Amino acid sequence: PFTDSLRKLEDPDCKNAVKGAAGTHVVLPGYYCADGIGLLDINTSDGRFLFFLPWQGSTLVGTTDRKEDAVSSPGPPEDEIQWILNEAE
């Protein structure tokens, strides 16, 4: 995630080549999607995509549509978790 920072060590005037993105993912009970079949919800309240993927008997639900700078220790914002839970209802 720090590609441009490293590139600028050699050439301080170089243009950025990478844009950061972040996403939040939560694990819900397996009944949120069929075993072996993923789902994509394109009709969310704010227009972002939301995916549902079967994962180890549970369902992984999330989005990756938030632009953000690279950080060393990312964490999920509480409002994102709540948004996912509300959309999954």
- Give the residue among 19, 16, 14 at the shortest CA–CA distance from 1: 19
pTM: 0.74
Question: In this predicted model, which residue has the larger pLDDT, 21 or 61?
Answer: 61
Residue 47 to residues 6, 43, 65, 71: CA-CA distances in angstroms? 34, 6, 10, 26
1-58 pLDDT, tens digit each: 688 889 999 999 999 888 888 889 999 999 998 888 999 999 999 888 899 999 999 9
Q: Are 12 and 81 in contact (CB under 8 A)?
A: no
β-partners of residue 66 are: 22
Side by side, the strands of the sheet bearing 21-29 are 21-29, 58-67, 50-55, 39-41
* pLDDT value at residue 85: 95
Tell me what the mean pLDDT of segment 57-84 comes to: 86
Residue 64 has pLDDT above 80, yes or no: no
